[in-house]
Structure 1
Amino acid sequence: MFAMTTSRRAVAACATAVAVCVSVLPSPASAVGPDLSKPFSFVEEFDSPSALEGWTVFDAPDYNSPDGRIRWMPRNVSVEGGHLVVTTQRHCVSGADELPSDDNVHPDPCPAGMVTKYSSGRVRSPQVAAGAFTANVKARLDLNLKGSPTGRPVSGVRTALWMQNDEKSCSTPGVTEYGELDLLEHYTASIGYDGMPRWAYIPANTHVGCGDRRNHRAERDLFFPNTALGQDVTYTVKTSEDSVAYSVTTPSGSTFKVDRPSGKRKADAIADAGPDSMGSLGRDSVDPALFRNVLARPWTFTLNQYVTTFDWQGLPDDSAPFPTVRLLVDRVDVEGTPFERVDVDPGSEGSASDVSSKPGSSAGSAGGFVGVVLALAGLVGVAGWLLGQAVRLGLVPQQVVDALPVGLRG
């Protein structure tokens, strides 16, 4: 057993039985995570209205929608039936200033003269991990196939189960140790790969450090078995001083390696998930000290849905029905042991040989443009919107935007 365990049961109950003790942005919640200076563990099973005590519930426009068309709201987050429930809905409002509410939920297309908006939810845990750890999220995607006129997932929803360290994003000057572990980035789009719809895949991504104000990234995609749709699936990430490994366990007990060898988006059911080592992380290897230091920082869980804003993600169709879509999280847990930071070679990060950042290449020029946009924008939401416009105008290749952290892409 590990020396320290923190869970909902270990914290004080809310003052009232029905209240959900959370805070909303911009007021951060008080951390109730474990002591990360020694072996640690953290468990949340969402079996009480007080389960979100110490978590942050977002109440703000989505980063890529500063105009407020898409908004994260506390009304879209609840704890019920032993699950954290995140709901994504369409709303028809009378004007741009009217907020989404229960009264204006509208699955059908909005009538003439009404404004279409979307609401969703996003929560972030206290700091729960650092160093070498194994983290699990047991969750269910309720894509409301019965409510879809086509019998397929409605386009335009992304579900993300991910972890982020305490470093600021790579758009911040001087930042080098940004880290992100995407256990799941699921898109409901019908457009996809190799003749398969995008919703049939469950991608995972690793982001480590900021090369040329970007991050080193390694994609891993897995074909999502239809039998797992609507059922609880466990998404796992395991870290060490020099590797990150992902796996997915379906209700039948099958464990899938999350991998994409040779650029192919395919994987076989196996008993063990192979490591995503430094040598295969991103387009080039990452300095070992940087890799270690990124993982040594404190980490949080973020669980959210999002309505897409970029063409490549599969946009929602305002003229078609948009049934309510839900994410139900049954449990999150993590256990591990911290490790110490080490000195980083000052030249290691600047010497990354990613071809897309080399002077003279089109992607390199685009990468420079991205840096300028982010520096001028200052705010992540505005930066995301500007990047979207740059892609649409052909100023930035989509693959450059794809390489950004999920926090910047939405």
Structure 2
Amino acid sequence: MSDSVVTLGCRLNLAESETIRGLISGAEQRTVVVNSCAVTAEAVRQSRRAVRRLRAANPDARLLVTGCAATIDPDAFAAMPEVDGVVANAAKLDAAAWVERPAPVAPLVPAPRHTRAFVPVQTGCDHACTFCIIPAGRGTSVSQPIAAVLHAVEGHLASGTREVVLTGVDVTGWGADLPGSPRLGDLVAAILRAFPALPRLRLSSLDGVEIDGLLFELITGEMRVMPHVHLSLQAGHDLTLKRMKRRHTRAEAVTLSQRLRAARPDIAIGADLIAGFPTEDAAMHEANVAIVADCGIVHGHVFPYSPRPGTPAARMPQVPRPVVRARAAEVRAAVAATRARWLEGLIGHTREVLAERDGTGHSPEFAPYRLPEGSAPGTLVTLTPTRIREGLLE
């Protein structure tokens, strides 16, 4: 690992890691960082493995750990012999937490490392889902004011970014703590007004019950807002949703997906789904499988349930681990089938694809493409695919 910051977990972590790179550049001693994740027990294990790998690759560097796993259980990471220090999430964007001397003033935006810019608009969460440990690592919801978000977007556009992604722990919760309690639709509208030359604006995971009327109109009617909605769905059965303390029903999730596709037929629906939640029986699992087709989910993040100590779900009757893994595989297979049909339907249709650095790219719907040789990263390439090969349109 030659990278100075290794990132695990969500897009918010990814965005914050870009800031951390700039902050540690002012350290007197070379510093490397693991930005950890705690969303599942496996994510914590991966974070610990990343620490060991990063230390092996950088034996003489100062190694610090931040992120949710390190914030929730700082003593465990501090006790690792590879670790020189732990920085809590609350301090991770404070220069004083990373350097022994004041760093020079950083440019507005670091040199771009990704073809799209991830802009954090909020962090933390005010909800209490029974499976989730993240509020313990991120705290309550804190929103970035509109002016701060516009300043960040302006900097990325100045560096040549063609696509901006709004990220956060609970993105649709943005604004509730700000004066006047604006909604996410107000923020999206402000960005579009301020930057008419911005080609592509994408939203990360959304809570369907928090999608306000203006946001719905912008997602379905504004072509610069990408036709790609990733829903924090979690389950397809009402009793499971109730035990998770989610705030939507199965019918509401299906209806929202139908409304989105009716208003914008090219929209692609993604979703987070948890397989094997405590107390889940065969009927609940079948509802999980069925909601993939009912909502038309083509981008699926399927998680086998992992008990997180300190959460209510960890105290509920658990599903045996082999059953959890098998059910997760079945849900993934359902997503794969829906996704395959969707990709087939894109053959012959022309799209503008944002070029990545590895010779691939993504269309507005976030469909994956293989690009012609010589496609410059960060540019928009017009393609009309004729086939699918190795999961990529080309």
User: TM-score over 0.5 for the alignment?
Assistant: no
Tell me: higher relative CO, structure 1 or 2? Use CA pairs within 8 A at least 6 residues apart.
Answer: 1
Higher percent of residues as strand: 1
Higher percent of residues as helix: 2
**Which TM-score applies when normalising by structure 1?**
0.30
**Which TM-score applies when normalising by structure 2?**
0.31
